[in-house]
Structure 1
Amino acid sequence: MSEEVNNDEQADARRPGAPALEKGLDLLEALAAEPNGISQKALAGRIGRSVGEIFRMLGVLEQRGYVTRHPKTGEYSLSLRLFQLATHHPPSRRLQQAALPVMEELAAETGLSCHLSMVSGEHFLIVAQAESDRPMGWSVKLGAVFPFTLDFVSARVIAAFQRERRRTELVAVLARQSKVPADGIAPRLETIATAGYDMAPSTIVAGLVDMSAPVVDHSGQAVAALTLPFLPQRDQNRDPAVALALLRDAARRISANVGAATA
């Protein structure tokens, strides 16, 4: 075992980047997909490495409390350590901090309110909201919860900008909640993903045009949808294309604030 470990460590040393960190992250991500535990050999196969490559790394993760090993089967599982770290800085709070200044600018520039939505099970909730300074307008309440259906532009955008597996899961939710066949949803989401946004007349409020753009993480997956209900007004914002351009720019800026790659 020791000779195999040394050879693997030498191979790691020749790789660019931070191979030890990459190895540790690969292990954590693989373990996260195995709630019932997994053997060392199976885990090595899962991430495409040898047992020797992961032997010491698993020991360190176990020593630091990120991984536990079953006393009888020897299978490895994630502990609650990562959850404990996450609770110190909840994602929704980080997202709010990154988004609110940009959203307030968007509301001021367009004279319209905007809101930020995140998925939660078979619903989505409004985690941030910015009002315009105009005396009249249309807005969605902070903390409001809506069913994850095709009626809502926020739901469509969140579902469209996902990797294949997650998108399939959300398509199933949309189909179930909207009572429509799943095979008719995927093409619509693909069109949205290609365009980079969604814009359509509101199915809830007559006269509104709903427009939404994704807030994405480093992998390009949507963590939220930034949505602007467009209400034409006589003296301002007659052109929805102008508001859409401002909305998409705001979504890009928020995405950059939460760590998305920038072009």
Structure 2
Amino acid sequence: MPEFNDTTLDADDQYLVPALERGLKILELFSHRDPVLTPNAIAQRLGLPRTTAIRLVQTLNTLGYLERANRDRDFRLGPRVMKLGFDYLTSLAITDIGTPVIERLRDATGFASHLVVRDGRDVVFVAKAWTHDATLSTIKVNVGTRIPAHASVHGHVLLGDLSEAEIEALFPEPMLPTYTPSTPRTAKEVFDRAQKYVAEGCAVSESSFEPGISVISAPVRDGSSMIVAAVTLTVARPFLEKAMVDKGLVGQVMHAAYELSERLNYHGAKS
């Protein structure tokens, strides 16, 4: 029997496993341009018989590398793809895996939901699940919108892992810009607010950044237990009505954030 080494792989294709090769090529078909695909589309692009494509897709779905989308008609990359460790797939995961989570939150509550991340001193909206509520039509929040992290409840949630020294380095000004009376004015106040929300597992803000708008925000953690994003719910009211809280609105946001955390390989306890 010939000795097996790295040069053998380069020189001889007798060790290739066709089914594995096809499965990996299926995963490579998914991108920002094509986040969901049907088995028929996969078969056509790879030149496979339809029945072969269906079997491969079903196998990847069973293993968690693909999941059903659009009422089970299509497929998208599944959360287990994260375990492959590809940087590109990791960057896709927060938005592509997170979008159906915030869409379900929107459907369950009737309010607009967003996924936000921190970029330095800013909060960036990276995905949204909008609502047809006319009262939200004047709010101009789109994917790519930035708001100051120190002044928003989203930012306070996203800063939850930082030490007081790290927050002071991020916001060195003796007096930070204020937008409402509740805006923190110093790095110490930002740190205290962030730690409060870490302890509570979520944040509820009523007209703290924009008058007439209330927000519920909960942290999303990855496999390293670090905060990498936040799931938010926007309510076009200056104050959250008691009936909303009693119906578990805060709990629904926290559940959505934990669901996305699990999809990012977080294994910690719920907040």
TM-score of the superposed pair, with normalisation by structure 1: 0.57
Pick which of 135-144 and 206-215 moved more: 135-144
* Cα deviations by residue, 1:173-225 (Å, 9 ceiling, x for unpaired): 24648353333333322211110111121223322222100011123221011
Structure 1 moving runs of 4+ over 3 Å: 133-136, 174-177
Question: Matched residues, percent identical?
Answer: 23
- SS of the equivalent of 2:116 reads strand
Cα distance in 1 for residues equivalent to 2:233 and 2:165:
26
Cα distance in 2 for residues equivalent to 1:191 and 1:145:
23
Q: Alpha carbons of 1:232 and 1:146: their partners in 2 closer, same or farther (altered >3 Å)?
A: closer
User: In structure 2, what residue type is equivalent to 1:208?
Assistant: I
Contact map agreement 1:115 1:128 (CA 8 A) in 2 = yes
> Unpaired runs of 5+ in structure 1?
1-84
TM-score of the superposed pair, with normalisation by structure 2: 0.56
User: In structure 2, what residue type is equivalent to 1:190?
Assistant: Q
Q: Alpha carbons of 1:240 and 1:232: their partners in 2 closer, same or farther (altered >3 Å)?
A: farther
Match of 1:246 in 2: 252
Match of 2:109 in 1: 110
Q: Alpha carbons of 1:182 and 1:128: their partners in 2 closer, same or farther (altered >3 Å)?
A: same
Q: Does 1:125 align with 2:124?
A: yes
Cα distance in 2 for residues equivalent to 1:175 and 1:261:
35
Q: Does 1:192 align with 2:167?
A: no
Aligned residues: 171
User: In structure 1, what residue type is equivalent to 2:188?
Assistant: D
* Cα deviations by residue, 1:147-190 (Å, 9 ceiling, x for unpaired): 222x2111000001x154xx642353246483533333333222
Contact map agreement 2:158 2:230 (CA 8 A) in 1 = yes
Aligned positions of 1:1-263 closer than 5 A: 86=87, 88-89=88-89, 91=91, 93-137=92-136, 140-149=141-150, 151-160=151-160, 162=161, 164=163, 168-174=165-171, 176=173, 178=176, 180-232=185-237, 238-240=243-245, 242-263=248-269
> Unpaired runs of 5+ in structure 2?
1-85, 178-184
Contact map agreement 1:157 1:214 (CA 8 A) in 2 = yes
Cα distance in 2 for residues equivalent to 1:95 and 1:217:
10
User: Considering only aligned residues, what root-mean-square deviation do their CA atoms show, in Å?
Assistant: 2.7
- SS of the equivalent of 1:228 reads strand
Match of 1:42 in 2: none
